[in-house]
């Protein structure tokens, strides 16, 4: 069954506790926290302290996506804050091997993210260490964009390359395009706009969980 991970980027920043509790009550599987450094992406979002407080507010796993050129600078802070999955970008300015090892040393799941135009060949070596591969379906930085139609083929390619871990996608996902992503090998759907604008998120999540099921 596909996992649904609401992206808090689309929540009301002045009512984060209300909105995240609402998504948990609606049956979401994870909560996706988009961390941005205003350098790797032209936007700034969320601190380790927000993750620490979210950890106290909800019980679903916190799926933290570090859109940072230097994720090593705040890795311990996000690990200490209670991230359950910590994902770093293959395009960051630092090698990922050591970062993934540090994440695993803390018994946290490690993810590798690739932007829409990045060839997954660049992460072939690291794939065996990745619990999750995040194939961004939009250029990272902002919610509310249109899904990049080239990316589903990249998910199929990852499976053909022998990847058997979680494949996650993030950006522009809604009820109409999710079935095709599932066909291409998706396990986890990050959804911001489509979920937070929904008046009955529980009904939507129930329908989404039913997609791809026999
Ligand atoms: C991009 C962000 C978005 C957000 C979800 O960096 O990561 O992908 O989480 O976007 P929407 O609102 O399109 O679901
Ligand atoms: Zn994200």
Going by alpha carbons, the residue nearest to atom 4 of ligand 1 is 143
pLDDT computed for residue 212 by the predictor: 81
pLDDT computed for residue 114 by the predictor: 98
Could you tell me if 4 and 208 are in contact, meaning their C-beta atoms sit under 8 angstroms apart?
yes
> Would the CB of 190 count as within 6 Å of ligand 1?
yes
> Would the CB of 31 count as within 6 Å of ligand 1?
no
Q: Residue 81 maps to which CATH number?
A: 3.20.20.70
- Whole domain around residue 118: which residue ranges? 3-210
CA of 9 from ligand 1 middle (Å) equals: 7
* One pLDDT digit (tens) per residue for the chain, 214 residues: 999 999 999 999 999 999 999 999 999 999 999 999 999 999 999 999 999 999 999 999 999 999 999 999 999 999 999 999 999 999 999 999 999 999 999 999 999 999 999 999 999 999 999 999 999 999 999 999 999 999 999 999 999 999 999 999 999 999 999 999 999 999 999 999 999 999 999 999 999 999 988 8
pLDDT computed for residue 214 by the predictor: 83
pLDDT computed for residue 12 by the predictor: 97
* Active-site residue, selected from the candidate residues 19, 29, 34, 37: 34
Separation CA 107–CA 49 (nearest Å) = 20
CA-closest candidate to residue 26, choices 208, 204, 202: 202
- The domain total for the chain is 1
């Amino acid at each position: 069954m596909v996992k649904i991970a609401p992206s808090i980027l689309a929540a009301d920043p002045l009512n984060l506790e209300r909105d995240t509790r609402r998504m948990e009550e609606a049956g979401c599987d994870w909560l996706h926290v988009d961390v941005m450094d205003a350098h790797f992406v032209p936007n700034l979002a969320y601190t380790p302290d927000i993750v620490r407080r979210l950890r106290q507010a909800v019980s679903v796993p916190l799926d933290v996506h570090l859109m940072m050129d230097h994720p090593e600078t705040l890795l311990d802070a996000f690990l200490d804050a209670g991230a359950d999955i910590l994902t770093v970008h293959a395009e960051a300015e630092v090698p990922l091997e050591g970062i993934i090892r540090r994440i695993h040393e803390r018994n946290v799941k490690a993810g590798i993210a690739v932007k829409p135009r990045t060839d997954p060949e660049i992460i072939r070596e690291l794939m065996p260490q990745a619990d999750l591969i995040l194939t961004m379906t939009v250029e990272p930085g902002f919610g509310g964009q249109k899904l990049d139609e080239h990316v589903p083929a990249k998910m199929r390619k990852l499976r053909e390359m022998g990847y058997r871990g979680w494949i996650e996608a993030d950006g522009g996902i809604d009820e109409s395009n999710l079935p095709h992503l599932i066909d291409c090998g998706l396990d986890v759907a990050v959804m911001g706009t489509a979920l937070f604008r929904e008046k009955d998120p529980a009904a939507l999540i129930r329908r989404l969980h039913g997609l791809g099921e026999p």
